[in-house]
């Protein structure tokens, strides 16, 4: 299965911690679980037209949840913290948040 750049980047993470990291040009995204660091770097550079210097990834296992007798599990996901290079401009999507 060939992943496109828009398939790799699922959605941005909007939290207090991720907003504070934007001052250091670090942006956080939920990404496709099978995407590797080089694919994530290429996808962010292609979609947002920026220069990426570093990518850190975190795999998170979904929690088991229950409602009464029914037991379910949240989906596993992968989070990527993308650091932009010093000369790169910011990502406009996050501006004004």
User: What DSSP letter does each residue of the chain carry, written as one string?
Assistant: -PPPHHHHEEEE---HHHHHHGGGTEEEEEE-TT--HHHHHHHHHHHH---EEEEEEEEEPPPEEEETTEEEEPPPEEEEEEEEPTTSPPPGGGTT-
Is residue 68 predicted with pLDDT exceeding 70? yes
pLDDT value of position 89: 79
> For the chain, what are the domain ranges?
5-86
Calpha distance 88→18 (Å, rounded): 19
Question: What CATH number does the domain located at 5-86 have?
Answer: 3.30.70.330
State both tokens at 56: 């850190």
19-31 pLDDT per residue, tens: 999 989 999 999 9
Determine what percent of the chain is predicted with pLDDT higher than 70: 95
């Amino acid at each position: 299965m060939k992943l496109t750049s828009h398939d790799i980047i699922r959605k941005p993470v909007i939290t207090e911690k991720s907003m504070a990291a934007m001052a250091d040009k670090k942006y956080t995204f939920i990404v496709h679980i099978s995407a590797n660091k080089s694919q994530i770097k290429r996808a962010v550079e292609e979609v947002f037209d920026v220069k990426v210097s570093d990518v850190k990834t975190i795999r998170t296992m979904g929690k088991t949840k229950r409602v009464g007798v029914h037991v379910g599990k949240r989906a596993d996901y992968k989070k990527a913290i993308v650091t932009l290079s010093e000369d790169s401009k910011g990502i406009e999507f996050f501006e004004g948040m």
